[in-house]
Structure 1
Amino acid sequence: MHVKVVCVGGGPAGLYLAILLKRQNPSHDITVHERDPEGSTYGWGVTYWRGLLDRLQEHDPESARAVEEHSVRWNEGVAHVRDLAARHHGDEGFGIGRHRLLELLAGRARALGVRLEYRSDIGEPPAGADLVVAADGVHSALRTRRAEHFGTRTSSGRNHYIWLGTTKVFDAFTFAFTETAHGWIWAYGYGYGDGHSTCVVECSPETFTGLGLDRADRAEGLVLLEKLFAGVLDGHPLIARPGASWLTFRTLTNRTWHHGNLVLLGDAAHTTHYSIGAGTTLALEDAMCLAGALREHAALPDALAAYERRRQAELLSVQSAARYSAQWYENLPRYIHLPPHRMFALLGQRHSPLLPYVPPQLYYGLDRAAGRLEALRRLKRWLGPRAARALHARSTARRD
């Protein structure tokens, strides 16, 4: 069935949905409206993991290959605490510049026949569209005008953070914790290509005001942060994009995600704390789910209802993990004085709902014991069939 789709917002979610819908039916009339000029974007690099790449490959192999080719990868994490460091081998992670990701998706969408309209700011659903997709971010104008219907709720985190870049190319996903006279301040760093890395800096409100970051201008603030993280920056500068400022993270949820022919996608529908590195992944998964629901259900209300049910259910565990992750950093003094390898181990466990209620040293010991027990279980599962075959072979040999 031929449908007219208007997508408001040219971020990863909106562009990828347009790609998937055009692949499903090339006759669909699809336009993506983006209020900013083409090639302009906020942010630096984004992270994702192998699981997302596998799903991209399933849905559109061509764009998946392009994304992978332009990504950097790592399989280690390193935590710097004062002058000590701990390195941990983990899952394969990827980083790609947000600008490059949008460029690749926009190129793929155009090649499939999607119209891309830049400098096009739409505040109301356009007439004549069968489906209007609000993919216009956390401050979505389309959603805000109907906030009461959507049941929009926002809550702000306690800590302050700022999204920066650097020419220091980190070889692993890097955590750096620095102690000051006013408390701890820390950074998350990861490479994403073109000789740059993302560097997100975070601290408590007390540290923020104690260091004078609330009063410093941009240049003064960057100089101070470069001194505080000199140990991991190796002389490289920190870079702020125009308009970059210190923020507190806003967690956004909506009771429902659709209204008539209008549906929410990506950050317009939900946000999760940046410390779990899942924002772009979740937005792309929204697009996959919505495209699938539109393919499986002929009636638009049924498709939008199915999309909402599935994605809200899938997000429950992720949103819980994000809340506990944010709280871990908000309660950093509880963990920071452990030996670095133990602190890093609990950093990896920060999504656990039990961790805030169990003494950190005890939790670490229990987690290690549980890990050894699970290793024994895996060994038994591996040995079980082999032992059975060996016994069966001996029994058969004796009968012979």
Structure 2
Amino acid sequence: MCVKVVCVGGGPAGLYLSILLKLRDPSHDIAVHERDPEGATYGWGVTYWRELLDKLHEHDPESARAIDESSVRWNEGVAHVRDLTTRRPGDEGRGIGRHRLLEILATRARSLGVRLEFEHRIPPDNLPDADLVVACDGVHSALRGRHADHFGTEIGIGRNPYLWLGTSKVFDAFTFAFAETEHGWIWCYGYGYGPGAGTCVVECAPETWVGLGLDTADEADGPALLEKLFAGILDGHPLVGRSGAEGGARWQTFRTLTNRTWHRDNLVLLGDAAHTTHYSIGAGTTLALQDAIALAGALHEHPALPQALTRYEQERRQALLPLQSAARHSAQWYESLPRYIDLPPQQMFALLGQRHSPLLPHMPPRLYYRIDRAAGRLEVLRRLKSRLGPKVARTLQARASRK
């Protein structure tokens, strides 16, 4: 059965949903409406992990290959605290320019017959005639806002201001830097996303932000001060905001958005219009693409729209629960930085990697570190036992206990 679907918002979620729906049935009438000109977007690079790439290959190998080929990779993390540096191996992460990701998805969508209409705003009080309207117009969604009471929209405002900047510095690892000032700590994390291109996200407590004068600094003085503070990782490369046409670099506080329900009649929320998770877990784009996969699957499995939208919402809500918890605790870890910053570098970096834990805020950091290390050693012994057999594993465990 041919259906007409209109996606309002030309970000990764809407574009990828249009691709999946066309792959399911080329006869579907699919259009994506984006209010901005083609190629205009905010931000620099986005991160994702191997698990997402495997999922993309499963659903559309062609766009997955293009995304993989345009990404940079890392498998280490490095933390700079004052004059100390600690490096740790980690999972293989990837970065890709947001412009490049949208270009890949738009090209793929067009090749499948999706209509892309840029510089076309959909009035929230006059929805297009379609079987399904998908609100993928971001955290400030006008379509969701028109029916905010129905959706039960709630927005929590974070404490710390943050700034998203670009740089020509090419990071060889996912890089954290913590700088101490007379007004408190300020920190950033940086990663590469293309040839000669990297992203730096800077964050600090409100009192540090005001004390350093970043709240009143203009678009030249602010980045210049940050370049001095993080000179150790930038190696002389500049920090830059978005171009004037894109509105410049602005300090923000993170908005955690939730909704009581994600659909109303034939209108459904997707990506940041439905939910947000703190940027410090680097999952925003991944979750948007996973939403698109789930919605396309539900629409295919349930011909009746109400059942399909209910199934989509149930599946994604369940999948989001652990990530939303991890995001809350990650944000709280940074907001409680003085609790961890004076630990020995190896311990501090280890707890940075454990910042998603709900137990960490309720335990002395050094005790948590020791317990976590002990649990890790027990896990190694468990794996040895399964691989080598119980007799060899008991011998190794006995030797370890005598040391």
TM interval, shorter chain, is over 0.9
Q: Which amino acid counterpart does residue 340 of structure 1 have in structure 2?
A: P
Deviations 1:339-395 (A, max 9, x none): 11110000000000000010011111110011101111111122238979xxxxxxx
Q: Give the aligned partner of residue 86 of structure 2.
A: 86
Structure 2: gaps spanning 5 or more residues = 394-403
Q: Which amino acid counterpart does residue 149 of structure 1 have in structure 2?
A: H
Q: Give me the whole-angstrom Cα distance separating, in 1, the residues matched to 2:381 and 2:156.
A: 43
Q: Give me the whole-angstrom Cα distance separating, in 2, the residues matched to 1:185 and 1:387.
A: 49
Deviations 1:7-65 (A, max 9, x none): 00000000000000000000000000000000111000000000000000000000000
Q: Give me the whole-angstrom Cα distance separating, in 2, the residues matched to 1:169 and 1:60.
A: 30
Q: Give the aligned partner of residue 18 of structure 1.
A: 18
Tell me the SS of whatever aligns to 1:320: helix
Q: Give me the whole-angstrom Cα distance separating, in 2, the residues matched to 1:53 and 1:178.
A: 34
Q: Give 1:123 shift.
A: 2.4
Tell me the SS of whatever aligns to 2:289: helix
Q: Give 1:246 shift.
A: 0.4
Q: 1:83-162 maps to which residues of 2 (within 5 A)?
A: 83-124=83-124, 126-162=127-163
Q: Give me the whole-angstrom Cα distance separating, in 1, the residues matched to 2:130 and 2:349.
A: 51
Deviations 1:227-278 (A, max 9, x none): 0000110000000013221000000000100000000000000000000000
Q: Give 1:224 shift.
A: 0.5
Q: Which amino acid counterpart does residue 219 of structure 1 have in structure 2?
A: A
Q: Give the aligned partner of residue 7 of structure 2.
A: 7
Deviations 1:50-95 (A, max 9, x none): 0000000000000000000000000000000011110011100000
Q: Give me the whole-angstrom Cα distance separating, in 2, the residues matched to 1:127 and 1:333.
A: 51
Q: 1:199-210 maps to which residues of 2 (within 5 A)?
A: 199-210=200-211
Q: Give the aligned partner of residue 395 of structure 1.
A: none
Q: Which amino acid counterpart does residue 322 of structure 2 have in structure 1?
A: S
Deviations 1:139-162 (A, max 9, x none): 000000100000000001110100
The reply on whether 1:185 has 2:190 as its aligned counterpart is: no
Q: Which amino acid counterpart does residue 382 of structure 2 have in structure 1?
A: R
Q: Give the aligned partner of residue 342 of structure 1.
A: 347
Q: Give me the whole-angstrom Cα distance separating, in 2, the residues matched to 1:98 and 1:61.
A: 19
Q: Give me the whole-angstrom Cα distance separating, in 2, the residues matched to 1:357 and 1:211.
A: 31
Q: Give me the whole-angstrom Cα distance separating, in 2, the residues matched to 1:127 and 1:234.
A: 51
Q: Give the aligned partner of residue 275 of structure 2.
A: 270
The reply on whether 1:236 has 2:237 as its aligned counterpart is: yes
Q: Give me the whole-angstrom Cα distance separating, in 1, the residues matched to 2:391 and 2:61.
A: 39
Deviations 1:103-157 (A, max 9, x none): 0000000000000000001123534200000000000000001000000000011
Q: Give me the whole-angstrom Cα distance separating, in 1, the residues matched to 2:341 and 2:39.
A: 40
Q: Which amino acid counterpart does residue 118 of structure 2 have in structure 1?
A: Y
Q: Give me the whole-angstrom Cα distance separating, in 1, the residues matched to 2:33 and 2:391.
A: 60
Work out the number of aligned pairs and report it: 388
Tell me the SS of whatever aligns to 2:31: strand
Q: Which amino acid counterpart does residue 336 of structure 1 have in structure 2?
A: I
Q: Give the aligned partner of residue 167 of structure 2.
A: 166
Q: Give me the whole-angstrom Cα distance separating, in 2, the residues matched to 1:69 and 1:335.
A: 38
Q: Give me the whole-angstrom Cα distance separating, in 2, the residues matched to 1:356 and 1:296.
A: 42
Q: Give the aligned partner of residue 334 of structure 2.
A: 329
Q: Give the aligned partner of residue 70 of structure 2.
A: 70
Q: Give me the whole-angstrom Cα distance separating, in 2, the residues matched to 1:133 and 1:331.
A: 38
Q: Give the aligned partner of residue 389 of structure 2.
A: 384
Change (3 A) 1:352 1:107: same
Contact (CA 8 Å) 2:72, 2:96: kept in 1 or not?
yes
Cα-Cα RMSD: 1.2
Contact (CA 8 Å) 2:6, 2:128: kept in 1 or not?
no
Q: Give me the whole-angstrom Cα distance separating, in 1, the residues matched to 2:331 and 2:150.
A: 28
State the percentage of identical aligned residues: 76
Tell me the SS of whatever aligns to 2:253: coil
Q: TM-score under structure 2 normalisation?
A: 0.95
Q: Give me the whole-angstrom Cα distance separating, in 2, the residues matched to 1:77 and 1:383.
A: 31
Q: TM-score under structure 1 normalisation?
A: 0.96
Q: Give me the whole-angstrom Cα distance separating, in 1, the residues matched to 2:57 and 2:299.
A: 20
The reply on whether 1:294 has 2:299 as its aligned counterpart is: yes
Of residues 352, 359, 373, the one that matches 2:357 is 352
